[in-house]
Amino acid sequence: MHHIASAFKKQGYYCPIRVCSAAEAFTLRHNLEQWEGMLEGGKASKDMRFRPHLLLPWLWDLVMKPEVLDAVEAVLGPDVLAWSSEFNIKEPHTDSFFSWHQDSTYAGLEPSDDVLTAWIALVDVNEANGCMQYIPGTHHKQLPHVETNDHNNMLSRGQTIPNVVDESSAVNVVLKAGEMSLHHFRLVHRSGPNKTDDRRIGYTIRFISKRVALTTQRKVRESITLCRGVYAPEEGNFDLDVRPDELMGEAEVARHREAMARENANYFDSANVTGYKH
């Protein structure tokens, strides 16, 4: 795993990493779409798209998968926690996109060098269906962003980096179903629209080290998921999530609602605005 850590430190990302088979990825997609079929309107509400591993046992198990955590631990060290997670879905033949941005812009997690984003492909992801693009080496400092009103921009505030560094160096993050990419919290990246006949489906997990849980201050205490190592709420600034026993059970829904209320209280003035979408 040393090669992952060294490449990540130099470039700000590493990919691809095989974390499950294509058949397992197909099952994950099936589980997702079966869950969507249970929901009003056939899709997750804004809040429900975030931290869904608190609602769905099969997603909690994906967050805890050794193949995922082995790669993350190579970068962050032995104490690994998941701060948040979400589905990133682009429907077929839509103009939705993500502008050039850094995940770290509104998060307030410190130190940023101890935060990374894992992006797991549930389908084959390529330029045609809107794969991510990274600009290597742009993870060393926070850049200024401006907020836009483009309704096709899937970022919560339409945040974008004006006059981004040399786009000619951008790398397409092409992944097969069941593969994962890791990128630094400050790495500049974007993704284009999905022009194909199928959905582009990814699952994002934001991992932090124990040091972030001890250092980051919040107006309201949020919760995090302990994946590996040791962390106790009394020593840090976050409470701990509980594994869901039942899919969308009453207790699970209540805990998820509370977790999202805490997050929204820290980041958004309006309860109608949510999320860190990538």
Domain that holds residue 145: 2-266
**Residue 74 three-state SS:** helix
User: In angstroms, rounded to a whole number, what is the distance separating the alpha carbons of residues 121 and 19?
Assistant: 10
Query: Is 51 inside any structural domain?
Result: yes
Predicted local confidence at residue 108, as pLDDT: 87
Q: Are 122 and 32 in contact (CB under 8 A)?
A: yes
- pTM higher than the cut 0.85: yes
Residue 190 phi/psi, 5° resolution? -155, 180
Query: Is 224 inside any structural domain?
Result: yes
Query: Is 60 inside any structural domain?
Result: yes
What CATH number does residue 42 fall under?
2.60.120.620
Classify residue 233 by burial, with Cβ atoms within 10 Å: 0-12, 13-18, 19+. Answer: middle
**Residue 264 three-state SS:** helix
Supply the Cα-derived Rg of the chain in whole angstroms.
17
**Residue 85 three-state SS:** strand
Residue 148 phi/psi, 5° resolution? -120, 170
* Cβ atoms within 10 Å of 156's Cβ, excluding its own: 16
**Residue 64 three-state SS:** coil
pLDDT, tens digit, 9 for 90 and up, residues 191-233: 899 999 999 999 999 999 999 999 998 889 999 999 999 999 9
User: In angstroms, rounded to a whole number, what is the distance separating the alpha carbons of residues 250 and 270?
Assistant: 25
When divided into structural domains, the chain yields a total of 1
Query: Is 109 inside any structural domain?
Result: yes
Query: Is 37 inside any structural domain?
Result: yes
Query: Is 203 inside any structural domain?
Result: yes
* Cβ atoms within 10 Å of 265's Cβ, excluding its own: 14
Across the chain, what does the average pLDDT equal? 90
Dihedral of CA 205/211/215/221: which sign? Answer: positive
pLDDT, tens digit, 9 for 90 and up, residues 30-51: 999 999 999 988 888 778 889 9
User: In angstroms, rounded to a whole number, what is the distance separating the alpha carbons of residues 147 and 5?
Assistant: 33
Query: Is 274 inside any structural domain?
Result: no
Classify residue 65 by burial, with Cβ atoms within 10 Å: 0-12, 13-18, 19+. Answer: middle
Query: Is 117 inside any structural domain?
Result: yes
pLDDT, tens digit, 9 for 90 and up, residues 88-135: 999 999 888 777 888 888 788 999 999 999 999 999 999 999 999 999
Looking at the chain, the whole-number percentage of residues with pLDDT higher than 90 is 71
- What does the block give as tokens for 232? 């106790």
Predicted local confidence at residue 276, as pLDDT: 36
Q: Which residue has the tokens 């994950």?
A: 28
Closest CA to 167 of 205, 212, 136: 136
Predicted local confidence at residue 146, as pLDDT: 78
User: In angstroms, rounded to a whole number, what is the distance separating the alpha carbons of residues 86 and 54?
Assistant: 11
pLDDT, tens digit, 9 for 90 and up, residues 18-28: 999 999 999 99
Residue 120 phi/psi, 5° resolution? -105, 125
